[in-house]
Amino acid sequence: MARSLRTLSDLGESALIRRIARRAGRPAREWLVGIGDDAAILRPGRDEDLVFSTDVRVEGVHFRFGRESPRVIGRSALAVNLSDLAAMGAEPVGTLLSLCAPGEMTVEVFDGMVAGFVDEARRFACPLVGGNLSRAESCNLTVTVIGRCARGRALRRSGLRVGDVLYVTGLLGAAALARLRADREGGALRRVPTPRLEAGRALAALPGTRACIDLSDGLTSDLGQLLTGSTHGVEVEFDALPTPRGFSAACRKLGLDPAWVQTAAGEDYELLFVLDPKRAELDPARLSARLGVPVARIGQVVGRPGIRGLPPLEGGHHF
């Protein structure tokens, strides 16, 4: 009992960093220095580009201690960042974790978050090589991921052409439904997104992949991102969206509009990708086999700007 009641203030920063370093272990040899110096040192390979992304999980916004376990919070913090590497077609190289927490947090909760983070890091061969700890009134985990891809092969969001075909991996709406159900019914949220790293790397290696983005804010919003800076638009076949079994009934039982949950509630962390029909394999079944994940064709790029075929986004100012 006494053990679980120790707080972060009782241990102090140095002891907490040692605790993290012990769990994290030694990174691969390309990391000349990991945790414990002013900075981590990487010796990049030749003929590769490096990609960098950062994202934060904020207590009360992205997670709640009453809803998710510390382990799920730690795992998710890395998973959503790895999803950005997947969307670039990149392979993980390493990660930095900046953790803010109140001094009154128990060491048990801290250890749980670190264990979840490090487990996920091992699973996807993305060693924790550095970071930062700071006191704050509430908790947040800011993660930076570093990835690599073959020189010039990273998947961008740009370059769309009329006639290009849109696909998504996996199922849309399941993650948002699980979260909304936990909120309404007060249950635990155990779901952690699976970053589609293998599918992303396969897409980067296939001919005819025009663009790719990961679905974090919801299909409609992320299609908007994909179209930023383009004069084109997209036509989505709403009925073609890959939908979890019993999805509509489950949404309605909670008083939710299934179309809204599926296209606007976000957090799918699936890949939305665009193929050039002249060069790419277009058959969803054969694509699924290559990507190692179910794939659905959901629409195409058209000359007229805007997004058609999806319910309009209400509000739209997400901050």
Is residue 11 at the binding interface for a copy of itself, with CB under 8 A as the rule? yes
Is residue 213 at the binding interface for a copy of itself, with CB under 8 A as the rule? yes
Task: Give CA torsion, residues 284, 78, 217, 61, to 10 deg.
Answer: 150
Least gap, CB of 252 to a copy of itself (angstroms): 29
Q: Considering the complex, state which of residue 55 and residue 164 has its C-beta at the smaller distance from a copy of itself.
A: 55
Q: Considering the complex, state which of residue 4 and residue 9 has its C-beta at the smaller distance from a copy of itself.
A: 9
Q: Considering the complex, state which of residue 16 and residue 114 has its C-beta at the smaller distance from a copy of itself.
A: 16
Using CB under 8 A, which of 27, 70, 72, 157 touches a copy of itself? 157
Q: Considering the complex, state which of residue 17 and residue 282 has its C-beta at the smaller distance from a copy of itself.
A: 17
Using CB under 8 A, which of 5, 9, 289, 311 touches a copy of itself? 9
Per-residue contact string for residues 48-87; x = within reach of a copy of itself by CB under 8 A: xxxxxxxxx-x-xxx---------------------xx-x
Using CB under 8 A, which of 24, 73, 79, 90 touches a copy of itself? 90
Exposure on the CB side of residue 108, measured as CA atoms within 13 A: 9
Using CB under 8 A, which of 69, 106, 144, 230 touches a copy of itself? 144
Instruction: Report 251-270 residues binding a copy of itself (CB under 8 A).
Output: none
C-alpha to C-alpha distance for 263 and 316, rounded to whole angstroms: 13
Using CB under 8 A, which of 43, 186, 285, 314 touches a copy of itself? 43
Buried b or exposed e, range 245-259, using 16+ CB within 10 angstroms: eebbebbeeeebebe
Exposure on the CB side of residue 233, measured as CA atoms within 13 A: 10
Least gap, CB of 239 to a copy of itself (angstroms): 28
CB 290 within 8 A of CB 196: no
Exposure on the CB side of residue 178, measured as CA atoms within 13 A: 16
Least gap, CB of 294 to a copy of itself (angstroms): 21
Strand partners, 145: 53, 95
Least gap, CB of 217 to a copy of itself (angstroms): 8
Task: Tell me the CA distances in angstroms from 141 to 23, 75, 76, 100, one per residue in order.
Answer: 17, 11, 10, 6
C-alpha to C-alpha distance for 161 and 231, rounded to whole angstroms: 10
Using CB under 8 A, which of 88, 109, 296, 298 touches a copy of itself? 88
At 261, list the tokens.
Answer: 């949950």
Instruction: Report 230-249 residues binding a copy of itself (CB under 8 A).
Output: none
Q: Considering the complex, state which of residue 109 and residue 250 has its C-beta at the smaller distance from a copy of itself.
A: 109
Using CB under 8 A, which of 29, 46, 66, 239 touches a copy of itself? 46
What element of type H or E holds 144?
Answer: strand 140-150
At 198, list the tokens.
Answer: 């293998």
Q: Considering the complex, state which of residue 90 and residue 250 has its C-beta at the smaller distance from a copy of itself.
A: 90
Q: Find all residues with CB under 8 Å of 305, minimum gap 6, and list them.
A: 227, 230, 231, 232, 233
Q: Considering the complex, state which of residue 72 and residue 212 has its C-beta at the smaller distance from a copy of itself.
A: 212
Is residue 25 at the binding interface for a copy of itself, with CB under 8 A as the rule? no
Neighbour tally for 144: CB within 10 Å:
16
